Amino acid sequence: MNILILNWRDPKHPRSGGAEIVTMNHAEAWVRQGNTVTWLTSGHSRAPGDEKIHGVNIVRRWGSLTVYLYAPWYLVVYARYVDVIVDEVHGIPFFSPFFTRKPVVVFIHEIAGEIWDFMYPFPLNNIGRILESLYFKLYRHCQFWTDAPSTINELEKRGIPRVQCKAIACPISIDKTVKQSKRIQKERAPTYLFVSRVVRMKGIEEVIKAFSFIVKEQPDAKLWIIGGGDARYVRQLHEMMDEYGIQKSASFWGRVTEDKKVDLMSRAHMLLHASVKEG
């Protein structure tokens, strides 16, 4: 089977996140089962226009937003060669049913809803909300794939029949070296962890505020922030921590390897998660 994935980013994109990791894990599994997988995504300076990663053919064209304009042309030319299209939604889909009659599976991690207000200024937030309220009508005859049953409940409210929805849990991949590693000792000081892309919708500002109260009760407490983010936003967060007086207690690790992430999680005591919305 020839499978085409439409996703605005790929795992090597500087702003990629968990969605791209999950998608790649599924794509690799499809390749191992003998399928051909092509991933159309946006271009960026960290990778070539065409590349094969673990058997998955990555096709990078244009930018994170303009790839939505490139995709229709790609579908018109190449859709005849694929058997199924995975139209991955990040706020808005690729509107693939407009340009092909091939089967389309909609892969949606969550319905954005209030996320529009956290990530985009007026009037872009309202435009996003309007588009999101309308596009479900175009896809009402498609199969929907999501990560969690809670998203199926929301899809049903948006007019998608529950029988057309399937929740598949995110795959977990742990390296052999992690599984074989010795038991790691916890930090002596109470250590709190934030693991995510460093963007507003993931609630990092709320975590910083909460940690400022924790430090008052536990003066030796530490906050480890794992994940990449826009440099300007990270500077704002540093300024925020200065205002709350917790700069010396917090550490930004940035993007780390899988092994390092597991190591830090093993040593920490508690995960702080304040995302606006997840699937």
pLDDT tens-digit map of 129-141: 999 989 999 999 9
What is the fold, at CATH topology level, of the domain defined by 176-271? Rossmann fold (3.40.50)
Alpha carbons 20 and 211: distance in angstroms, whole number:
29
Least confident of 28-32, 109-113, 160-164: 109-113
- What is the tally of helices (H) and strands (E) in the chain? 9, 12
Alpha carbons 10 and 21: distance in angstroms, whole number:
8
Q: Looking at residue 118, what is its pLDDT?
A: 86
Q: Are 126 and 46 in contact (CB under 8 A)?
A: no
CATH architecture of 2-167: 3-Layer(aba) Sandwich (3.40)
145 pLDDT exceeds 70?
A: yes
Identity of residue 267: R
- Mean local confidence (pLDDT), 215-227: 97
For the chain, what are the domain ranges? 2-167, 176-271
37 pLDDT exceeds 90?
A: yes
User: Kind of pairing, strands 84-89 and 104-108?
Assistant: parallel
Q: Looking at residue 278, what is its pLDDT?
A: 83
Instruction: For residue range 56-93, list pLDDT tens digits in order.
Output: 999 999 999 999 999 999 999 999 999 999 999 999 99
Q: Looking at residue 174, what is its pLDDT?
A: 64
179 pLDDT exceeds 90?
A: no
Q: Looking at residue 182, what is its pLDDT?
A: 59
Q: Looking at residue 176, what is its pLDDT?
A: 53
Q: Looking at residue 258, what is its pLDDT?
A: 86
Q: Looking at residue 277, what is its pLDDT?
A: 84
Identity of residue 279: G
- Mean local confidence (pLDDT), 22-27: 96
Q: Looking at residue 175, what is its pLDDT?
A: 60
Q: Are 31 and 64 in contact (CB under 8 A)?
A: no
178 pLDDT exceeds 80?
A: no
DSSP sequence for 34-87: T-EEEEEE---TTS-SEEEETTEEEEE-S-TTTHHHHHHHHHHHHGGG-SEEEE
Q: Looking at residue 172, what is its pLDDT?
A: 73
- Mean local confidence (pLDDT), 98-104: 97
The fraction of the chain above a pLDDT of 70, given in percent, is: 96
Q: Which residues pair with 195 in a beta bridge?
A: 226
Burial letters 117-156, b for 16+ CB under 10 A, else e: bbbbeeeebeebbeebeebbeebeebbbbbbbeebbebbe
Residue with tokens 């074989």: 180
Alpha carbons 207 and 194: distance in angstroms, whole number:
8
Phi/psi-derived region of residue 102, left when phi > 0, alpha when psi is between -120 and 50, beta in every other case: beta
180 pLDDT exceeds 70?
A: no
Instruction: For residue range 197-211, list pLDDT tens digits in order.
Output: 999 999 999 999 999
- Mean local confidence (pLDDT), 264-274: 95
More reliable by pLDDT, 176 or 160:
160
